[in-house]
Structure 1
Amino acid sequence: MLSGIPERRADQGPGRLIAGRYLLHDILGRGGMGTVWRAHDQLLDRQVAAKELHIATDGDEDHRVRMRRAVREARAVARVPHPHVIGVHDLVEHEDRLWIVMELVQGPSLADRVARSGPLTPQHTAVLGLQLLDALKAVHDAGTLHRDVKPANVLLRPDGGAVLTDFGIAALDDGEFLTTTGQLVGSIEYMAPERALAQESGPASDLWSLGATLATVCGGRSPFRRTAYPATLHAVVYDEAVLPERLGPLRPVVGALLRKGPGERPTAADVKVALQRIAAGETDIDPLPAADPRAYRPAPGTAPGTVSAAGSTGVPVNDAVTVTGLHRQPARAGDTLVVPAGGTGTGGGTGGTAVHPARPAPASRPRRRKWPVPVIAGVAVLALGAGGGLFLAGAPPFQDRGRGQEGAYDREQERENPQDRGQEKANGQEQGRDRGTELPVVTSVVQAVGSGVGWQRVEKAAVRKGDGVTVRFQEGGWSVDREQMPLTGPAGYAADEDRLLEFAEHCKVAPKAPFGTLLTRLAGERASSVLAVGEAVTFRAGGDGVVELRINDDDGCLHDNEGELTVSVEVTHTP
């Protein structure tokens, strides 16, 4: 809740008459900026949606700034008459609150639709994508940015048409800044990287959010959601989206929309053409060019939906994907990377390797970078506390080791700082050249780990004694009881949730870790320990073996599980 909001009185529930005209019925939904009511317009005898903003109209200058922003919301939307943009009927003040009266859409949100019925087909997603793209064009033409495009802010009419709603954080190009001290406005996993970095944003930022939305409703999960807020923000800024195979022909479109730099993304016109082809049933969709050709150059031989050695595009989650390179530093001009034969990095071929010169990383977006000083000042609004310093340096502050790791988890679990590790590798390269020694070889595998299966081998992650192994969570969620327990991430359930399952303690593979924890071990290694991964864990192999992964739930208890995690396994071998 925003500070300075008066407490709700007993007479502020259903049955109130707002501005002598709008009779409140039931609550349709709540959000960070307001509560939406179903109401009856007694003057025109029609059903409407009345949004009660969580901002008092009296108070200090801070409140008045918020009021002016809220008024802009209504005016901005009202001047965009469009079938796929929510209609605004009225703007009233009542009992020190601002109310926005809008058309009532008799249908669920897109988020609710996917949660209830599962992901949409690529063709259906493309149809809705075209409608939202057209709505955003109208919004942008009016000089407005939406800034919070996400499945929860898309309503579905009875005929299935999409309606873009909740312009609670929209701003006019000539208006005041959206953020006030202590606030970052928007949904992090759908927020474009430039917005997260407090850089200039524009229509391309909304297109990025559209791409994240399409990926979620067709793929079934957000490509950047992590179990911790800082980790999600880090993923948005630094990590490439892992796009599932089920996106089909949408993968090159979504992958292009989710490029990190605004200039690297395609134009709305190119996106529209591609979505029209998919909606018509076509499946052979070419990669989309960048709006600014100077900002993006695709890696040679890299197909959509694969990982190049520089890690530039998404990875199919249904198959293990192997990328082998001499190092994991950003690709630079003159570097040589080793990838599987064929150059696509899909791991489908056998025998031999093909060598390709690495493309330079885009000048506008280094892969690992320190956050700029203005962000440290401006994005202090994230309130990351002690973890913030580490996160702003370019590494997630919470590389969770899992909770309750004692006794069975006696293996050293190292927190990694990617910058420090990268510098060590860079230094090692130079020293290696001087000594004439061989360089370390890094093999990275991305694999989906199901919750309904026991130990699952990462076949392409063979390990030899002395190799360094890093297991890192990328995305997803799972549950050990689909009827009673919510989805959780790789660190497992919180202590209070885990206590609810004390009756089933015998089902734990690792007794001291919470249910749902992502576990790993090295199969084949003598006396191998079981480790809790959390967000990431690094260890050195005491013998030869193969990495295995599973959920902390025993084989005899997996029948009611659901969900999966996408995990990367990196093996560093020094000859």
Structure 2
Amino acid sequence: MSERVISEEGDRRVTTGSERGAQRLIADRYLLYEVLGRGGMGTVWRAHDQVLDRPVAVKELHILSLGDEEHRVRLRRAIREARAVARVPHPHVVGVHDLVEAEDRLWIVMELVEGPSLARRVEETGPLPPEHTAAVGLQLLDALEAVHAVGALHRDVKPANVLLRRDGNAVLTDFGIAALDDGDFLTTTGELVGSLEFMAPERVTGAEAGPASDLWSLGVTLATVCGGQSPFRRPAAPATLHAVAYEEPALPERLGPLRPVVEALLRKAPQERPSAGAVRAELRLVAAGQAGTGPLPPATVRVRRASDPVADAETVTAGRQAAVSHGEPVPTAWGTTSLRSAEGRPARPRRLRWVLAGTAVLAAGAVGGLFLAGWPPFEDGPKAETTTVSQVVQAGAGWQAVTGVSVRRGDQVAVRFVSGQWTAATANMPMTGPAGYDAQTDKRLDGAKDCKVKKAAPFGALLAVLAGVKNPPVHTVGRGLTFRAAGSGTLQLGMNDTAGYCSQDNRGSLTVRVSVTHES
């Protein structure tokens, strides 16, 4: 079977005489009216929820729910992921109300956003200035991190999938459709679903996709919104595929201060792209009309020796980026939004593996925490090797092992807070950072003191423990902690509210940077 490519150029809002007033009733609840938009993967209807008496948008997916057992297994897995996204309450994520099967196909019931898409806005009024583009980018980045925090991906970020509310704030939509393309459909049907010019190289070639793939698509979206055209658009689909996988992006001069962050997001290898926290810091500066900090380092960096001249230069770069504040309200093109951050989990591995030429650049950034913590350089003493990784700590997941590092007796371990917020009780407690709640707020959970892992620390505090060591102490990390390992074990992180059933109503996540230095 020859490969077919479905290129979805975005839903265009149309209404035809034959479709107006269709009055179809779906799942004995949703009454369809006129068509709002149509794309390669589905048709969007204006509808009314007769049970809750409210207007909704219903997307009719062009994917039959019938099929063989293997197809049904994939479909059930995709439905679970779509429902995970539906549990994300976020001002810049479209509200997903329901996912139903009717007439032998799937239907996604969503919040009805009365406003144009970002693609239509640019088409009608022209490209946005760099400052406004960065403001939109901050909102979309915040939305993506919320979705990544529940273990899901978007997979089709593009201007046509961004709706603008009446107040001008951006809303990322079409999560449900993206979740249905989990990579297996590519190998079984030979189809690529989505918009080719916004796909990350690893998706185009069938390799493993993850949160970095969504960040690539965000970079193309920013370049398109500010520059007026996708930097990978070509006259034919094969040429577009080749451009995405192998060619450098064509970026116009009008990107101005936005150019460095876009170039970093569009690095071909996923491991070379910057972290969401670094992207946020850069976008904040551009949105405020300031110059950026320059090239952004990869999200994960491995450094051989802290005394190496290159390592020293990396320390200075990281320190400058760490000085950018996080978590404060940010002015946007249309108002003020409070941003929260959460690095995503890696996606499921795919059957077809492809590795882009070259290896990840061992670049600046992650060792800045060592310098800021006051660690001395190793000059005449023993040689040292430092491994630094980023880790997402989920609020309700209990103790979570830090992957990518090993800890031996005598190693120096540093944990540094990067970004994010979480809550110890989603219905009753506000969001907090790694230090946990202040004393007065903490008292509101006095009735649940038994849920604390460390009694002396407040609820919501970030904790660390070295599992595998006899009687290991539980450390309160807060915004930063450095300690010497008393034995060999696995570093685990978690919220101070991780005792069994107690953590079921926790929400949110923190991103931290962990550095382990081995001396030899």
TM-score tier, shorter chain, comes to 0.5 to 0.7
Distance 1:121 1:291 in 2: 27
Match of 1:19 among 15, 18, 27: 27
3-state SS of 2:139 partner:
helix
Distance 1:41 1:120 in 2: 36
Partner amino acid, structure 2, of 1:86:
V
3-state SS of 2:113 partner:
coil
1:177 is the counterpart of 2:184: yes
1:210 is the counterpart of 2:218: yes
Aligned to 2:202: 194
Q: How does 1:334-373 map to 2 (within 5 A)?
A: 363-364=358-359
Partner amino acid, structure 1, of 2:34:
D
Aligned to 2:266: 258
Partner amino acid, structure 1, of 2:282:
A
Alpha-carbon deviation of 1:248?
Answer: 0.9
Unaligned runs of 5+ in 1: 4-9, 298-360, 367-575
Deviations 1:315-356 (A, max 9, x none): xxxxxxxxxxxxxxxxxxxxxxxxxxxxxxxxxxxxxxxxxx
Match of 2:56 among 48, 58, 71: 48
Match of 2:296 among 262, 276, 288: 288
Distance 2:261 2:250 in 1: 14
Q: Relative to structure 1, is the Cα distance of residues 28 and 275 closer, same or farther in structure 2, using a 3 angstrom cutoff?
A: same
Q: How does 1:363-402 map to 2 (within 5 A)?
A: 363-364=358-359
Deviations 1:102-150 (A, max 9, x none): 1001111111111111101111111110011011111111001111111
Q: Relative to structure 1, is the Cα distance of residues 124 and 271 closer, same or farther in structure 2, using a 3 angstrom cutoff?
A: same
Aligned to 1:460: none
Aligned to 1:115: 123
Alpha-carbon deviation of 1:185?
Answer: 2.5
Q: How does 1:32-111 map to 2 (within 5 A)?
A: 32-61=40-69, 64-65=72-73, 67-68=75-76, 71-72=79-80, 74-111=82-119
Partner amino acid, structure 2, of 1:261:
A
Q: How does 1:99-248 map to 2 (within 5 A)?
A: 99-171=107-179, 177-179=184-186, 180-248=188-256
Distance 2:69 2:213 in 1: 29
Alpha-carbon deviation of 1:70?
Answer: 5.1
Aligned to 1:518: none
Q: Relative to structure 1, is the Cα distance of residues 28 and 11 closer, same or farther in structure 2, using a 3 angstrom cutoff?
A: closer
Unaligned runs of 5+ in 2: 7-17, 304-309, 311-355, 362-520
Distance 1:203 1:225 in 2: 23
Alpha-carbon deviation of 1:69?
Answer: 5.3
Q: How does 1:325-340 map to 2 (within 5 A)?
A: none
Distance 1:114 1:72 in 2: 34
Q: How does 1:439-450 map to 2 (within 5 A)?
A: none
Let me know the Cα RMSD of the aligned residues. Answer: 3.0
Alpha-carbon deviation of 1:82?
Answer: 1.0
CA contact (8 A) 2:219 2:265 kept: yes
Distance 1:2 1:176 in 2: 14
Partner amino acid, structure 2, of 1:217:
V
Partner amino acid, structure 2, of 1:278:
V
Alpha-carbon deviation of 1:285?
Answer: 3.8
Q: Relative to structure 1, is the Cα distance of residues 73 and 35 closer, same or farther in structure 2, using a 3 angstrom cutoff?
A: farther
3-state SS of 1:86 partner:
coil
Partner amino acid, structure 2, of 1:33:
M
Q: Relative to structure 1, is the Cα distance of residues 281 and 74 closer, same or farther in structure 2, using a 3 angstrom cutoff?
A: same
Distance 1:49 1:73 in 2: 20
Q: Relative to structure 1, is the Cα distance of residues 193 and 129 closer, same or farther in structure 2, using a 3 angstrom cutoff?
A: same
TM-score (norm 2): 0.53
Aligned to 2:483: none
Distance 2:114 2:190 in 1: 36
Alpha-carbon deviation of 1:176?
Answer: 7.2
Deviations 1:406-437 (A, max 9, x none): xxxxxxxxxxxxxxxxxxxxxxxxxxxxxxxx
Alpha-carbon deviation of 1:181?
Answer: 2.5
Q: Relative to structure 1, is the Cα distance of residues 66 and 33 closer, same or farther in structure 2, using a 3 angstrom cutoff?
A: farther
Higher RCO by CA contacts (8 Å cutoff, separation 6 or greater) = 2
What percent of counterpart residues are identical? 71
Partner amino acid, structure 2, of 1:364:
T
Q: Relative to structure 1, is the Cα distance of residues 33 and 13 closer, same or farther in structure 2, using a 3 angstrom cutoff?
A: farther
Larger Rg: 1
Count of residues paired in the alignment: 296
